[in-house]
Amino acid sequence: MKRYLTFLILFSLSLSGCTSAGQAAGLPSDPTAAMQTSVAQQVATLSVEQTAVAQQVQTMSAALPTATAVPVVESTSTPLPTATSTPEIIPTPVPGPLADPENELTDKGWGQAPILPTVSERARQIYQTGLKMGNDPRHFSVAGDCQSVPEVFLGIFDGDRYRLSDDDTALQETIDNFKGQFIRDGVAVRQGFGITSVLDPTWSDPQLCQPDETPLACEFRVNKPSILFINMGTNWKNGNAEGYAKYLRKVIDYSIEHGVLPILSSKIDNVEGDHSINIVTAGVAHEYDLPYWNLWLAADPLPHHGLDSNRGDIYFSVDAQYLREISGLRAINAVWRGVMTGAGNE
């Protein structure tokens, strides 16, 4: 009997352990009798609770369907969509010129075109398609010659030496978005590069590029850009302007295939003598409905049209160099904001 009582006492204490400390201060004068009474009451209480639990388990079991009661339905129709709204469908752009472009660029009016690019619906589609393909919205690339390397084109914005005017303070958001890209040495930029160079595997960086990979293809694979500056034309010495346009279209078509949105820029020099490179560049931008950055017009008010008269007819003056930096930042800002908010934004 003592062993049975001891067992019940220990069992009772183990069940009420979280409150035993609070009960110790109110022990009765006859602890043995009180404990026997308490044990009996707790055992009775446990019996009642066990009976109630058993009844609840039976009730819950009766409410649950049996395995054979669950019907197996084979799908014979299109599954219902899980989203509550229909996502926007972005058509995949097809390389090549458009029959009816939105922009008002013409080869005759290239010099009067706005300095900053505008963004068409096609440009937005190219950009959005590229994001679906894995292009990085925080990356851009440049195809150009020695005047497009980071030291003289946009690289300043990855440091602390620039100062934005009150009118340009909103550009800081663009600088933050593309941080690290301004100072980056791209594969498609090198001294002496022309429009054909970026399409020729001979000029690829063997440390970064795969065998038979062109500089442009290597740059797209390595950097995954969403936007591409095409700053070309000064080194075109292989033929007429129509030949330049032919290779420019090849670069653009390849970019569109990879979802990279090109920004075509005019040049401030006129080494060809008749501005024919700028004319065809604006014409191709019109045909393809692509952003066109008219740097030529921006530099027009500067002395010698922004050219360094002491170094020849192709190099930028100090004033033109600064102008090109801030104008290029404004250009990519206009395009970046335009592709995010819709067509027709400047």
In the chain, domain spans: 110-341
198 forms bridges with which residues in the sheet? none
The average confidence (pLDDT) of the chain is 79
Q: State the pLDDT at residue 95.
A: 83
* pLDDT over 70, % of the chain: 71
pLDDT at residue 340 is higher than 50: yes
The predicted model scores a pTM of 0.73
* Tens-place pLDDT, residues 271-304: 898 999 999 999 999 999 999 999 999 999 999 9
* Tens-place pLDDT, residues 59-74: 444 444 444 443 433 4
| Alpha-carbon gap, residue 138 to 227, rounded angstroms | 9
Provide mean pLDDT across the span 105-128: 89
Is the torsion defined by CA of 13, 14, 15, 18 positive or negative?
A: positive
Contact indicator for 217, 260 with CB cutoff of 8 Å = no
User: Is the domain 110-341 a CATH 3.40.50.360 member?
Assistant: no
Q: State the pLDDT at residue 68.
A: 40
Contact indicator for 143, 228 with CB cutoff of 8 Å = yes
Q: State the pLDDT at residue 69.
A: 40
* pLDDT over 90, % of the chain: 60
Provide mean pLDDT across the span 252-265: 98
Provide mean pLDDT across the span 42-52: 43
